[in-house]
Amino acid sequence: RKEVEQDPGPFNVPEGATVAFNCTYSNSASQSFFWYRQDCRKEPKLLMSVYSSGNEDGRFTAQLNRASQYISLLIRDSKLSDSATYLCVVNRPTNTGFQKLVFGTGTRLLVSP
Amino acid sequence: DAGVIQSPRHEVTEMGQEVTLRCKPISGHNSLFWYRQTMMRGLELLIYFNNNVPIDDSGMPEDRFSAKMPNASFSTLKIQPSEPRDSAVYFCASTRELGHNEQFFGPGTRLTVL
């Protein structure tokens, strides 16, 4: 079982639609959570952190459920420019004493006119 | 400011050849990470350094892979000998310090081993 699991998609939605992605993680020691965005043939970039209380950044809302080990990302009023792969990322401690990021394989979103 | 710089951007080589990938982290960043990305396995952490010292190389797939960071502004990932299954995009990322959550990725090196 992968440490971070995501539905690969693709999610095909029309402009203006609301779309939600889910992610589950297996390591209960995980401490921090993020969504990264990766455009086709580009590098991943941080989209937003995910806080226990839930947080919003414009059209994007992220939520965390620690009990269920579940993270979500909601995108409202989808734009063509939102088309990308969204990577669920978990930061967890290792036996070196440092933390490391563990990436899901990503959910692909295609927004059409 | 320049971001993370990687070279080459594309590399095509034949099985058995040595491949060296290069990375220059963002100035002032103390931690550097090497990742490999494939369709099947996604983004996998290979090795990371803190203050030029390798911290965890448990993600390095085989002895054919090695990485060095001789100074704060340069790192290499070497594959010798290369095999077709090494074909992937290799990303280098840096962050200000370990535990700081935002990692800044370079543009990647797309490696094809024939």
Cα(B38)–Cα(B95) distance, integer angstroms: 23
Cα(B58)–Cα(B48) distance, integer angstroms: 10
B105 pLDDT higher than 70: yes
Alpha-carbon gap: B26 to the closest alpha carbon of chain A (Å): 15
Sign of CA dihedral A78, A5, A92, A102: negative
What percent of chain B lies above the pLDDT cut of 70? 96
What percent of chain B lies above the pLDDT cut of 90? 84
Q: Is A49 on the interface with B (CB under 8 A)?
A: yes
List Cβ neighbours of A25 (8 Å cut-off, separation of 6 or more).
A3, A4, A5, A33, A69, A71, A88, A90, A102
Q: Hey, which bits of chain B come out as E strands? A: 5-7, 10-13, 19-24, 31-38, 42-50, 53-56, 65-71, 74-79, 88-95, 104-105, 109-113
pLDDT of residue A37: 97
- A101 and B102 in contact by Cβ < 8 A? no
B20 pLDDT higher than 80: yes
Of A43, A99, A102, which is closest to B99 when you measure between CB atoms?
Answer: A99
Contacts of B43 in chain A (CB under 8 A): 44, 87, 103, 105
Contacts of B105 in chain A (CB under 8 A): 43-45
Contacts of A104 in chain B (CB under 8 A): 42
Judging by beta carbons within 10 Å of its beta carbon (0-12, 13-18, 19+), is residue A77 exposed, middle or buried? exposed
B88 pLDDT higher than 90: yes
Q: How does pLDDT run across A46-55, given as a tens digit for each residue?
A: 999 998 888 9
Q: Is A68 on the interface with B (CB under 8 A)?
A: no
**pLDDT-based confidence at residue B100 (cuts at 50, 70, 90):** low
On average, the pLDDT of chain B sits at 94
pLDDT of residue B1: 65
How large is the average pLDDT for residues B87-103?
87
- A101 and B45 in contact by Cβ < 8 A? yes
pLDDT of residue A93: 81
Pairs of residues, one from chain A and one from chain B, whose beta carbons lie less than 8 Å apart: 44
A94 pLDDT higher than 90: no
Q: Is B63 on the interface with A (CB under 8 A)?
A: no
Q: Which residues pair with A27 in a beta bridge?
A: none
How large is the average pLDDT for residues A9-13?
95
Q: How does pLDDT run across A69-87, given as a tens digit for each residue?
A: 999 999 999 999 999 999 9
Alpha-carbon gap: B65 to the closest alpha carbon of chain A (Å): 20
- A87 and B41 in contact by Cβ < 8 A? no
pLDDT of residue B80: 97
How large is the average pLDDT for residues A46-71?
93
